[in-house]
Amino acid sequence: MLSTLLSQIVNGLVLGSLIGLIALGYTMVYGIVQLINFAHGEIFMVGAYGGLAMFTYLLPTALKNHWYFALPILLIVGAAVSVLVAVAMERLAYRPLRGAPRLAPLITALGVSVALQEAVRVFYPNATAAVPFPTIFVPGTLIIPIGDGIPIKYSAILLVVVALALAYALNTFVERSRMGRAMRATAQDPDVARLMGVDPDRVIVLTFVLGGALAGVGGILYGGLYNTINIDMGFQNGIFAFTAAVLGGIGNIRGAVVGGLAIGLVKALGGQYLPGGTAYDYVWIFVVLIVVLVFRPQGFFGETERVRA
């Protein structure tokens, strides 16, 4: 049925935009320091909790019901909390391991991931269970009158628009700005970049700041869409985002977004049309990943990794 197909495509694009937004953080950090930052999903999670804390405890009640006040404040606070945690993580956990073998920071990333989850569980009130998240945007659903109707929540439209706009802005920043050029230079060859006067520490911190800000915004939009957040949200969506980054070609910004959208669509359409139904929709994501990696190990947009002496 046409309306069902279109509904599932919409669902896939919404989930895909969110995953793409998180995947940008994975892909940038990998591009600069060749680290798979498994704690990035938790950066997304702390952004949502940070925003919720501000909304619950600090925001005056008079402002809570006006989304045009509450939404920007929440997005900024969510992004700020995520950025702070991401920068602290880089400074305390990853920078000391800069010269260490690649396995050491990878294991550290897993440790940071667990530590952040447990910290929120222990210190955020009632975070042992899922926590309700306020509807921060226009509530309700737009129903496009095709066939049985295609429902789209307004908060889902917001998520897609903001996610794609931020991805575009990031791409422009990296390709056009001076700092963006420094990032690309460091990614290509950190030693030569340093000889040219690029400070690698600054570039790395900037990478974590950008990735953290996107994840924090993603956390708030996620909460606004599903109206519930929990400490596991970073792990599950983080795994998808990591998969999206690999699928798109890790280290490539466009690849992360395309990979995210591909995963969202595969999940939605696989759950609808493939055998096993929604119980197996996660399986198809990884089937697609494996098939793509067999034929194109560097992902959609990735370049083959050059090994140098």
Partner 1 sequence: MVGHPGTRGTEGHSMTRRRTVVTAAILAGALGLTACGTNRDEAAGSGGGSSCDTSKGTLVIGMVAPLSGSLSALGLGMRNSTKLAVDQANQKCTVKGYKLDFQPEDDQATAQIAGQAATKLSSDPNVVGVVGTLNSSTAQTVAPILDAKKIVMVSPANTNPTLTLGQAATTAPARPFKTYFRVATTDLVQGPFGAQYLIQKAGKKNIAVINDGKTYGAGLAATFSAEATKLGAKVVAQEQVGEKDTDFSGVIAKIRPLNPDAVYYGGEYPVAGPLSAQLAGAGLNIPLMGGDGIVDKQFVALGGRVGDLATNVGAPADQLPSAATFISDYKAANFAEDFSAYGVLTYDAANVIINGLATAVGTGTFDDSKRQALIDAVQATKLDGASGSIAFDQYGDTTNKVLTVYGVKGDNFAPIETGTYKAS
> To the nearest whole angstrom, how small is the minimum distance from the Cβ of residue 181 to partner 1?
11
From residue 298, give the alpha-carbon distance in Å to each of 29, 40, 125, 251, 274.
17, 21, 43, 10, 27
- Identify the helix (H) or strand (E) that includes residue 301: none
Q: How far apart are CA 38 and CA 85, in angstroms?
A: 14
Give me Rg for the CA atoms of the chain: 19
Q: Which is nearer to partner 1, 72 or 92 (CB)?
A: 92
Instruction: For the CB of residue 281, give the shortest distance to partner 1 in the complex, in Å.
Output: 6
- The Cα–Cα gap between 211 and 85 comes to 11
* Residue 129 beta carbon to partner 1: minimum distance, rounded to whole angstroms: 5
80 vs 115, beta carbon nearer partner 1: 115
228-229 and 150-153 beta bridge pairing: unpaired
Name the minimum Å distance from CB 190 to partner 1. 6
What is the number of H-type helices and E-type strands within the chain? 12, 4
Smallest separation (angstroms) from partner 1 to the CB of 93: 6
Give the residue with the Cβ less far from partner 1, 162 or 266: 266
Nearer of residues 87 and 130 to partner 1, judged by Cβ: 130
Which CB, 82 or 113, lies closer to partner 1? 113
Tokens of 251: 């280290």
- Whose tokens are 């509530």? That residue is 139
